[in-house]
Amino acid sequence: MNIEKVIEEVKEARKGPDKPYIFDENGNVAEDMYLYDILPLLDQLKQFERPMPYDSFEEALDYAYENGPLKAHDNTYNYLCNISNNIEYISLPDDNIAIFRVHLKGDIRGDYSTPVCVDLKGHPSFVGILCEECNTFETKEINDEYTAQIDALSSSISIVNKEGEEFCTSPENERDELIREIKENLAVEEEIEQ
């Protein structure tokens, strides 16, 4: 089905000289990028895949505008989500399906993957199935003292100490600065201890 093809398209877009800067030379999310990698999410969505009922994403979009709910079409880009590749989606709850495609690289208005159809399992939207049926959280170590808890569907991350206490929650536009400050402060503390 199409989801396997999308996984290969995503992996291919992460290679070569034109790959997005957020990926390392092996095609993984770079160590200093605090983003949820979409590949495990795509694996989780395999169980919900259904045959594509439309010839193209655009045909599904036309159908949604004519027959779907008011906010049937959206993109994770619009919410500054902490995800390696944004997802454009159409939710059609009356048909119990959603159609989505993954942004591969470049300008957000283009360069998308093959579209995929998934069963909504009774959820009202594509985001509903992601929130209720999939794991959209990832933890990434900042250093020995702190970890970042990343929610793929949010624009903020939580910084948590090793005891599990939340140090702070940071909006996307401040997180890189916050992580840099934590690393610098710990480096200063280590120098003082020596």
Looking at the structure, do residues 90 and 156 belong to the same domain, yes or no? no
Looking at the structure, do residues 77 and 150 belong to the same domain, yes or no? no
Looking at the structure, do residues 92 and 75 belong to the same domain, yes or no? yes
pLDDT at 91 over 90: yes
User: Could you list the residue range(s) of the whole structural domain that residue 189 is in?
Assistant: 137-193
pLDDT at 190 over 90: no
Q: How many domains does the chain have?
A: 2
Tens of pLDDT along 5-32? Answer: 999 999 999 998 889 999 999 999 998 8
Looking at the structure, do residues 8 and 73 belong to the same domain, yes or no? yes
Domain boundary among 133, 152, 184: 133
pLDDT tier at 161, thresholds 50, 70, 90: confident
Q: What mean pLDDT comes out for the span 153-178?
A: 76
Tens of pLDDT along 25-71? Answer: 999 999 888 899 999 999 999 999 999 999 999 999 999 988 866 67
Least confident of 96-100, 134-138, 158-162: 158-162
Looking at the structure, do residues 9 and 105 belong to the same domain, yes or no? yes
Adjacent-strand bridge partners of 90: 73, 99
Q: What mean pLDDT comes out for the span 138-166?
A: 87
